[in-house]
Amino acid sequence: MSLAKRIIPCLDVADGRVVKGVQFVDIRDAGDPVEVARRYDAEGADEITFLDITATSDNRDTIIHVVEQVAEQVFIPLTVGGGVRSIDDVRRLLNAGADKVAINSAAIFNPEFVKEASDKVGSQCIVVAIDAKRVNAEGEADKWEIFTHGGRKETGIDALEWAIKMVDYGAGEILLTSMDRDGTKIGFDLDLTRAITDAVNVPVIASGGVGNLDHLAEGVTKGHADAVLAASIFHFAEYTVNEAKQHMAGYGIEVRL
């Protein structure tokens, strides 16, 4: 008996539709978010994450509406991220039915925002999303830094130090994406995942690079992740969530079947 490792399908949402791009370009339409979320729930997803990849103040209401509709029909935890910049954004998403809100670039511009948000709504509702890229040359010690703008803009912030700081500021969970791997389908950056997971005392969700079911299992067995997130392998029906869980169970990983 123990806590199950979570499998989290991620829906990138743009203008109210699910899309999936490769390294944030070449975006393909993958359907209606409510329908997709229902399918994942039926397949046994442990949680669903929505990332509003076109979030601007103009289309804020679109994602709120999506969350409301999903929360009326899907009774598993929902995390929503993308363009979350203010306490008002956090509150509106939680009131719409999100259980957790992911904060990404706003935390970089203003780390105090994470403190303020976790203080107001509780750490359990605040996920800090970290987009990291390896910056060391081959043969040098491992080093990753935080990048913004879909991995294009460097910040010079060390990813490991950042994760520790964000937990100290009240993050209840870390959503860790390798920008080197995102969309590549060659597997998680396991060194990055393990380095961050072992360094913090809150759950870490590994993200970026899943191309097959072995990758998901490795995220847990080698990356020590508490949860694994994937988008495209589920969207285009290459695998169902249930198949993923069966596969992970075969590795001796505790999953909810």
Partner 1 sequence: MSLIAVVDYGMGNLRSVSKAIEHVAKNSDQVIVTSNPEDINNADHVVFPGQGAARDCMQELKARHLADVVLKAAAEKPFLGICMGMQVLLAHSEENQGVDCLNLFQGDVHRFSNEMLDDEGLKLKVPHMGWNQVHWAIEHPLLQNIEQDSRFYFVHSYYADPSDAGIIAARTQYGIDFVCALAKNNVMAVQFHPEKSAADGLQLLKNFCHWNGQP
Q: Which residues are catalytic?
A: 12, 131
The torsion defined by the Cα of 45, 13, 200 and 151, in degrees rounded to 10, comes to 140
Tokens of 156: 């010079």
Its sign, for the CA torsion 232, 233, 234, 238, is positive
Instruction: List binders of partner 1 among 238-257 (CB under 8 A).
Output: 256
* Token pair 């509003």: residue: 52
CB 182 within 8 A of CB 208: yes
Q: DSSP label at 103? A: E
Binding segment for partner 1 (CB under 8 A), chosen from 48-56, 175-183, 198-206, 243-251, is: 198-206
Residue 7, Cα to own-chain centre: how many angstroms?
11
The Cα-based distances of 64 to 11, 68, 75, 162, 168 in angstroms read: 14, 6, 17, 29, 29
203 forms part of the interface with partner 1 (CB under 8 A): yes
* 43 belongs to the binding site for partner 1 (CB under 8 A): no
**Nearest distance in Å: CB 178, partner 1:** 20
Question: Residues in contact with partner 1, total (CB under 8 A)?
Answer: 33
Query: x/- site string to partner 1, residues 57 to 76, per CB under 8 A?
Result: --------------xx--xx
Residues in region 106-145 near partner 1 by CB under 8 A: 121-125
Contacting residue, 12, 41, 52, 218, with partner 1 by CB under 8 A = 41
Residues that bind partner 1 (CB under 8 A): 1-6, 41, 46, 71-72, 75-77, 94-97, 99, 121-125, 172-173, 198, 201-203, 224, 226-227, 256
